[in-house]
Amino acid sequence: MFLTRIGYGIIYFLDLIYEIIKSTVDVVFNKIMRRDINPVVIDVETVLERPVSQTILANSISLTPGTLSVDLDSENQIIKVAAISPRSKEDIIPFEKYIKKMLE
């Protein structure tokens, strides 16, 4: 069980780095160069139940360029996210499944 959690932790870390690089390229070339900026604030529901898991997810969102976690409602499992353009939930939190398997 412990080794499985470590494995998901490594996958989460690698996926986070991949998402940071992918978002950096998207923000620089597709949003800033084309001036396609349409800021929105959206509520993203999460399946994570533990506050530590939700906090790690919120921090991961803030590390990804183009998004920023503004508020975390642990009781209702909602993270308020500011994004420079409208995005789907899957684009904002693609690494949620790894955090769930790693910490819950």
Q: For tokens 């390229």, name the residue.
A: 25
Q: Residue 12's pLDDT is what?
A: 95
Q: Residue 89's pLDDT is what?
A: 87
* Integer angstrom CA distances of residue 87 from 3, 40, 74, 94: 34, 9, 22, 12
Quickly list DSSP for 23-81. HHHIIIIIIITTT----EEEEEE----SHHHHHHHHHHHHHSTTEEEEEEETTTTEEEE
- Is the per-residue pLDDT at 80 higher than 90? yes
Q: Could you read off the pLDDT of 12-42 as tens digits, one per residue?
A: 999 999 999 999 999 998 887 888 889 999 9
